[in-house]
Amino acid sequence: MVTCGEGAQGECVARHGSSVPAGGERCVRTHRNVMCACTRTQMERLMTTKTVLITGTSSGIGLAAAVAAARAGWHTVATMRDTTRADALHKAAAEAGVADLVQVKRLDVTDADSVAACVAEVVAEHGRLDAVVNNAGAGFVGTIEQHGMEQVRSVMEVNFFGVVELTRAALPHLRASGGRVITVTSVGGVIGQPFNESYCAAKFAVEGFMEALAPVAATTGVQVALVEPGAVASEFVNNVGLDVPALLTQAGPYAPALQAYVNHAMQSFGSDTAQTPEQAAAPVVEALTAEKVPFRIQTSDWARSFVGTKLADLDGSAVQSMTADWLR
């Protein structure tokens, strides 16, 4: 085995993209039969800076959380299914001065092979994994009678099974680091909302899964937390891909109620109670950095009040009355 310098410098430059300072301490990274002479400080930074993997970072809360985590000093592996959509993230990271801490990787949470490969790459490249933020999600508006089971299964694959798959793959590494699993759900994971049966079912499933996992994971030093945003400005139509005229045409006897619900939702997402993605992402970063993280975190006073309605509603009448009003 040879060190960088006499004949091996070119190999190191080819793999690292830059030459190695003279007198640098040898590192432990081996390239075939060549050991590079990177500086000790470079290696120490690589191996001691905490690493977080965040899903669904091409826009919205995920993008904002990725930038905020990097600003807090984390190596941030920002994943998305389509990396050609990473321009907004790259721009935001550059403007925040943290481009060197944000690494974009492709990850499809519905593909087990993609999940396993991404987690393995992160650990191989960074030497550790300290946190996972399950943020990737898909919305769907409609009622079950009007849509087939394919739509239900599709929403469950992304919003529930994808979360489970990534959490399962990450847990061995999080045990090693004493890390944490943070999952962005929704107030729709606490209160079932009209014309969101599939979405709310998936978010309810995530909440139940994580609530059951949390005490088990805690016995091995891994903390588990849920972050529950309310309305986030500009995301409702964009994320759901809502074609209101088409939905109303297909809604049949449910059209009047659906129109009332859409009016209510659009008003909520455009109101003063709606948060910006940056505001909704702030508690995610707080959950990353807090010594002891609460299990359930709402992102605003409005969200806390909304969720509190359900938690105090033993017979369900208060929630049913509230959501029925949205359809009038």
Amino acid at 165: E
Helices 162-177 and 197-218: angle between axes, nearest 10 degrees = 20
Q: In this structure, what token pair is assigned to residue 256?
A: 């009047």
Q: In this structure, what token pair is assigned to residue 299?
A: 């992102």
Phi-psi region of 195 (alpha: psi -120 to 50; beta: other; left: phi over 0): left
Q: In this structure, what token pair is assigned to residue 90?
A: 């790259």
Is 199 catalytic? The answer is: yes
CA dihedral sign, ordered 196, 199, 201, 207: negative
Amino acid at 215: P
CB burial string 284-301: b at 16+ within 10 A, e below = bbbbbeeeebeebbbbbe
**Bridge partner residues of 239 (DSSP):** none
**Bridge partner residues of 224 (DSSP):** 181
Catalytic residue among 74, 199, 204, 326: 199
266 class by beta-carbon count within 10 Å (0-12 exposed, 13-18 middle, 19+ buried): middle
Alpha-carbon span 115 to 106, nearest angstrom: 9
Q: In this structure, are residues 289 and 72 in contact, taking their beta carbons and an 8 Å threshold?
A: yes
Alpha-carbon span 129 to 52, nearest angstrom: 6
Q: How far apart are the first and last CA of the chain?
A: 76
Q: In this structure, what token pair is assigned to residue 184?
A: 């962005």
Positions marked active-site: 199
